[in-house]
Amino acid sequence: MFVPAIKGQGTEEQQKKWLPLAYKFQIIGCYAQTELGHGSNVQGLETTATFDPMTDEFVIHSPTLTSSKWWPGGLGKASTHAVVYARLITEGKDYGIHGFIVQLRSLEDHSPLPGVTLGDIGGKFGSGAYNSMDNGVLRFDHVRIPRDQMLMRLSQVTREGKYVQSDVPKQLLYGTMVYVRQSIVADASKALSRAVCIAVRYSAIRKQFGSQDGGPETQVLNYRTQQSRLFPLLASAYAFRFVGDWLNWLYTDVTQKLEVKDYSTLQEAHACTAGLKAVTTSATADAIEECRKLCGGHGYLNSSGLPELFAVYVPACTYEGDNVVLLLQVARILMKTVSQLTSGKQPVGTMAYMGKVQHLMQSKCAVKTAEDWLNPAFIQEAFEARALRMAVNCAQNIGQASNQEEGFYERSPDLLEAAVAHIQLIIVTKFIEKVHQDIPGHGVKEQLQNLCNVYALYTLHKHLGDFLATGSLTPKQGALANEQLGKLYAQVRPNAVALVDAFNYTDHYLGSVLGRYDGNVYPALYEEAWKDPLNETVVPEGYHEYLRPLLKQQLKLSRL
């Protein structure tokens, strides 16, 4: 994040100076924004950067305990520099949060520089999964940096101390977070596909119950309940892959537009990266835990690879923006878009469907049979109607409040659900568009079509309350969707293992005895057990010191 921050907020001259040093590992940088007292609320950060015209320097200072930088990855022990986000103060006025390049450690002996206190913030969730990352704490005691270490693409401070705002939107200050959020969506697909690969392969070799006449037991992958829990996660892994590819295109397109000072799609990029990051990471964190449960007791072993995957993955719901905070950002943009509908301003991009407000507010879903749900047009319209009606309902309720802000906070739980509905529409839309493309490989398109329908109908089934409450569907149509879902599971079943093999993960990368490509699980589980340090001795340590005296004492007592 150190590099994207300098690329996005540094001048050409600053990029020329600092990026080669970072690329060559002559310096190691981190992104020091979050503080002990503030993370979500960037404008609430307390670290100060006060300009001193006498020396043409900024004085970086941590005025309170809560202003201590806290969490930045790589800060605790590795980094020599940081992009520090601080309140810029010049001529006695506070101009809010800006980025500054600050050296933290000596390039001679790595010791902290004068006025810099830093260290690691301690152990984190899980058995040490994320403890390979030195998330750090950092405090400044009036540390001086040259004025030219303020990142000056978005705004500048002159030699005399005058603050000058460039003609670029101030939101570009948040650009690094947008970049990482879009990469996190692709990362969600990778993490989810790893968990699903393990759970599908294991479910194919695991047999429990089923036979009454002494014949072979049943593969658990054949149980309808296992399929109804597992196949939507398999479909989600593909869905997040395709929407992540599209989001990367959107991000690249926005970045190219910024180069020519076209800021027209900045809001779309913010809404899509924030919303897709929130929805895909929440779903993936829940799915990894579900995959553990789908593997029964063996899923709880570290050798299954699932506990570690879960412990490393779950902070994704928090870092780069708490998911609720990000979804509320999407909700704000939805409300703004709804309010502009009456002005005749046509929504664009992923909000374009809201321009069909007249139709979507009164449309009746035409589905009459379960098979009708295989028609992408019916799915698309149902998801559009649900999302739009939820947004309009929120806007109407907010409109009844004494003021917009009050109304927004009062209705924020409903707004959250409206934002999720909007983002799920984007995911479904991009999956439908993907399977409409030419897709090479015999039968591949049909399999992806099945997964697209599984993702859409499972999501519809899970959020059926939204569809019924908004009148987007009738209960009968909801039941037909569930009926079709069951038929789709049967079609996915013969190809389930092939669909996870298609992720092409090596056994090493998967790190799971349950997800081995060869399916030879039981010998691998048994062999792995003996690597447990507890098995280095046959009689456990502590027997003579604790167990033996206890057993002897109980034996004596029993003979009295």
Ligand X SMILES: CCCCCCCCCC/C=C\CCCC(=O)SCCNC(=O)CCNC(=O)[C@H](O)C(C)(C)COP(=O)(O)OP(=O)(O)OC[C@H]1O[C@@H](n2cnc3c(N)ncnc32)[C@H](O)[C@@H]1OP(=O)(O)O
Site string for ligand FAD, 51-90 (x = CB under 6 A): --------------------xxx-----------------
Partner in contact with 135, chosen from ligand X, ligand FAD, none, beta carbon below 5 to 8 Å by kind: ligand FAD
Residues 206, 299: contact at Cβ < 8 Å? no
Place of tokens 């968990």: 195
Residue 34 annotated in ligand binding: yes
Distance CA 427, CA 330 (A): 15
Distance CA 216, CA 126 (A): 38
| Interaxial angle between packed helices 376-399 and 444-462, expressed in degrees from 0 to 180 and rounded to the nearest 10 | 30
User: Least distance to ligand X from the beta carbon of 336, Å?
Assistant: 6
Candidates 159-167, 286-294, 323-331, 543-551: pick the segment binding ligand FAD (CB under 6 A). Answer: 323-331
Distance CA 493, CA 204 (A): 10
* Closer residue to ligand X in complex, CB, 327/499: 327
Residues 49, 59: contact at Cβ < 8 Å? yes
User: Least distance to ligand FAD from the beta carbon of 401, Å?
Assistant: 16
Residue 73 annotated in ligand binding: yes
| Interaxial angle between packed helices 224-259 and 444-462, expressed in degrees from 0 to 180 and rounded to the nearest 10 | 100
Q: Are strands 69-70 and 136-140 parallel, antiparallel or unpaired?
A: antiparallel
Residues 466, 390: contact at Cβ < 8 Å? yes
Place of tokens 């999956």: 431
Binding-residue total with ligand FAD (CB under 6 A): 19
- Regarding 250 and contact with ligand X (CB under 6 A), the answer is no
Q: Which residues are catalytic?
A: 320
- Regarding 340 and contact with ligand X (CB under 6 A), the answer is no
Output DSSP code: residue 213.
S
- Regarding 40 and contact with ligand FAD (CB under 6 A), the answer is yes
Phi, psi of 54 (to 5 degrees): -65, -35
On the 0-12 / 13-18 / 19+ scale of CB atoms within 10 A, 223 is middle
Among 270, 292, 389, 430, indicate the residue that binds ligand X (CB under 6 A): 270
Residue numbers 121-150 binding ligand FAD by CB under 6 A:
130, 135
Dihedral angle over CA of 239, 242, 245, 246, nearest 10: -100
* Closer residue to ligand X in complex, CB, 84/451: 84
- Regarding 28 and contact with ligand X (CB under 6 A), the answer is no
SS (H, E, C) 54-94: CCCEEEEECCCHHHCEECCCCCCCCCCEEEEEEEEEECCEE
Among 33, 62, 280, 303, indicate the residue that binds ligand FAD (CB under 6 A): 33
User: Least distance to ligand X from the beta carbon of 64, Å?
Assistant: 19
Among candidates 22, 117, 18, 23, which has minimal Cα distance to 76? Answer: 117
User: Least distance to ligand X from the beta carbon of 11, Å?
Assistant: 20
- Regarding 397 and contact with ligand FAD (CB under 6 A), the answer is no
Among candidates 229, 373, 209, which has minimal Cα distance to 299? Answer: 229
Residues 503, 193: contact at Cβ < 8 Å? yes
Residues 78, 134: contact at Cβ < 8 Å? yes
Candidates 171-179, 211-219, 421-429, 451-459: pick the segment binding ligand X (CB under 6 A). Answer: 171-179
Among 2, 18, 70, 174, indicate the residue that binds ligand X (CB under 6 A): 174
Among candidates 134, 139, 137, which has minimal Cα distance to 86? Answer: 139
* Closer residue to ligand FAD in complex, CB, 134/466: 134
- Regarding 478 and contact with ligand FAD (CB under 6 A), the answer is no
* Closer residue to ligand X in complex, CB, 2/238: 2
- Regarding 241 and contact with ligand X (CB under 6 A), the answer is no
Phi, psi of 119 (to 5 degrees): -175, -175
User: Least distance to ligand X from the beta carbon of 163, Å?
Assistant: 18
Candidates 25-33, 158-166, 354-362, 445-453: pick the segment binding ligand FAD (CB under 6 A). Answer: 25-33
* Closer residue to ligand FAD in complex, CB, 134/381: 134
Task: Compute CA 192 distance to the chain's CA centroid, rounded to the nearest angstrom.
Answer: 11
Binding-residue total with ligand X (CB under 6 A): 26
Place of tokens 């970086």: 60
Among 46, 268, 320, 381, indicate the residue that binds ligand X (CB under 6 A): 320
Partner in contact with 400, chosen from ligand X, ligand FAD, none, beta carbon below 5 to 8 Å by kind: none
Residue numbers 119-158 binding ligand X by CB under 6 A:
none
Binding residue ranges: 34, 73
Which residues are near ligand X by CB under 6 A?
A: 1, 31, 33-34, 39-43, 73, 171, 174, 177-178, 180, 183-184, 187, 266, 270, 319-321, 325, 329, 332
Which residues are near ligand FAD by CB under 6 A?
A: 31-34, 39-40, 71-73, 130, 135, 315, 318-319, 321-322, 324-325, 328
Binding residue ranges for FAD: 34, 73
